[in-house]
Amino acid sequence: MKRLGLVSALIVFGACARPTSRVLPRETALSLASALDPAYTYSPDGSRIAYWTRNTDSSSGFTLWAARADMTAPAKLLSSQGTYGQALWSPDGSQLATLSDRFGSADVVVVPATGGPPRRLTTTPGFAAPTAWYPDGDRLAYMATTAGGSASTFAVALKTGASTPLVPDERSPYLGVPSPDGSHIALNVFDDHGGSTIWVADSGGHNPRQLT
């Protein structure tokens, strides 16, 4: 009875309370008819949004767009026939890295955020997808699968296109990402029995320390 009385009192109080003058912010629709959720990301400063759409015309495949945060002034950046992945903004917001088969196979592709020629960064027998930018924007971490299905993680230098293992001495399949400041690498190492453990290494991928 006490709980029921409290609920009733709250209802009465709400009905009698003075109307608020606070204006709620205007909502912006992010779910376009052809947009693919959750493949959208905001730029580091929050002023722009990148998203994929499924092509609705006679052509098949998908298109990557970048627009203002309110979804106005969209610019077409990249087309992909059958494979796409969430686009990752570079730290300065000038580039987007994504998974695409624009060049025939599923690889890491980088494209200017304002439009321009896309650049293929990987050529793998399986597929490769970006996982994180380094804070300096000069390198990009990505995971790649082999023909046998094993997975590993690498870092590619944008200037040279050269890839190196994120953790050079790790021989088991693993997925890793650099920390936001680039000082450490966190990795999930998989064993032959379907289990995994979490490790952390230094910025060069050395001196790994098991956490779990």
**In the sheet that 35-42 helps form, which strands lie side by side, from edge to edge?**
35-42, 48-54, 62-68, 75-80
Total number of residues shown for the chain: 212
Two tokens at 170? Answer: 């790790």
Which residue did the predictor score with more confidence, 31 or 192?
A: 192
Decide: 128 and 149 in contact? Cβ < 8 Å.
no
54 band by pLDDT with thresholds 50, 70 and 90: confident
Tell me: the pLDDT tens digits for 191-209? 888 899 999 999 999 999 9
Structure tokens belonging to residue 122: 């990987």
Give the three-class secondary structure for 63.
strand
First CA to last CA distance, the chain: 49
Task: Give the Cα separation of 130 and 140 in Å (integer).
Answer: 7
**106, 99 in Cβ contact below 8 A?**
yes
Q: What is the pLDDT of residue 14?
A: 40
The CA distance from 101 to 98, in Å, is 10
Q: Which pLDDT band, with edges at 50, 70 and 90, does 87 fall under? A: very high
